[in-house]
Structure 1
């Protein structure tokens, strides 16, 4: 969970953190200038907890129905902008010189030469990756079947070196851990 301590204040929620950094540090904004994309970013970040809850709940119910609803939400969100495969389209990325919170400077998600940081995408992809592995292995549920935007999104994120460094190294270990912990 990202957090930031600044001037004696600790901020831990992603949306609050983004807003705080935008208000308290110089540089390009971490949120889109486009009001519609800004609103979409806030909606997406506000939905992450519910998204994860639905996925964990699917382990004890009907994964196709319950997890399917969560992945359909992402598929629909990915259809909103047609200028790229990311949740806010291709236009919204940050490059060198952008505001970067201190916690991110030492993260594999930050690349000094080119920072491709899509806040909404980064909020979702670790969960999508892990649940894709688990649901496929345990329930034989293919989360991208019938979801072409989700498939393209995952494929595009897998091309980003900074993201590749954060991927699960041993899928079997993840599956065993989730089985023991959540089933």
Structure 2
């Protein structure tokens, strides 16, 4: 098993001029886009479970995507998707749980029923409320409307107050597993993985777009971001060209006529 501290040699993105890989040849492939936060969720899960050797990254250029991706791989023509056991599955929340349950390594879902219920509530909230409400706030009142959502995260981070993550300390089985077999940087739980890509982007963009720091007055959120940034499996997936990402967000949300 590869260690999460091992840096991937990231392959170039495939575009309309690229030939498809040898599909359904027994190789497990994760189709992603390097800038896509939904893809990043599954990419983090792959990394923190040490599955770099078992799941091959296949990045897709979404601005010039190859026809074969829709025709031969995933008819919905979106990323992420996972080619595994002669089938292709999509949707980031589904895939995070799929990779967690169908590959080796400790589970990122807690055994404790109270924590399990809390995790499921937070995961459901992420894509039904948190992400869309923050994006909608960019066209209205980002400080107020988005602020409500970051207050929600701050409150959630207080529920289990024995550590910096959403469930407090990392589960004992994950900590022991990584101490014995992998690296000093242990992975986050599933709910941390779900939120990290979007908080990363909002944390970078909102000071530029609205002069608004999402961590101001939210010490738990600030500490959570700091601790996430120390995790190797997450660091490897972070947006490399932050200025380009900020420019994309400004063009999409702030420059409309």
TM over 0.5: yes
> Is 1:52–2:52 an aligned residue pair?
no
Question: Which range is displaced more, 49-58 or 26-35?
Answer: 26-35
Aligned to 2:163: 84
Q: 1:179 aligns with which of 250, 253, 256?
A: 250
* Alpha-carbon distance, 1:8 to partner: 5.7
The number of aligned residues is: 171
Aligned-partner Cα distance in 2 for 1:159–1:139: 27
The answer to which structure has the higher helix fraction is 1
Determine whether 1:113 maps to 2:183. yes
- Alignment of 1:130 onto 2:201: yes
What is aligned with 2:13? none
The alpha-carbon deviation at position 112 of structure 1 amounts to 4.2
**How does the TM-score come out when normalised to structure 1?**
0.79
- 84-93 vs 123-132, greater mean Cα deviation: 84-93
Higher alpha-carbon deviation: 61-70 or 20-29: 20-29
* Partner in structure 2 of residue 147 of structure 1: 218
Where does structure 1 lack aligned partners over 5 or more consecutive residues? 99-110
Task: Tell me the secondary structure at the aligned position of residue 188 of structure 2.
Answer: coil
* Structure with larger Rg: 2
User: TM-score scaled to structure 2, two decimals?
Assistant: 0.58
Give 1:41's aligned residue.
Answer: 119
User: Can you list the C-alpha shifts for 1:117-162, whole angstroms capped at 9, x where unaligned?
Assistant: 3211111111111111111011100111111110111111111222
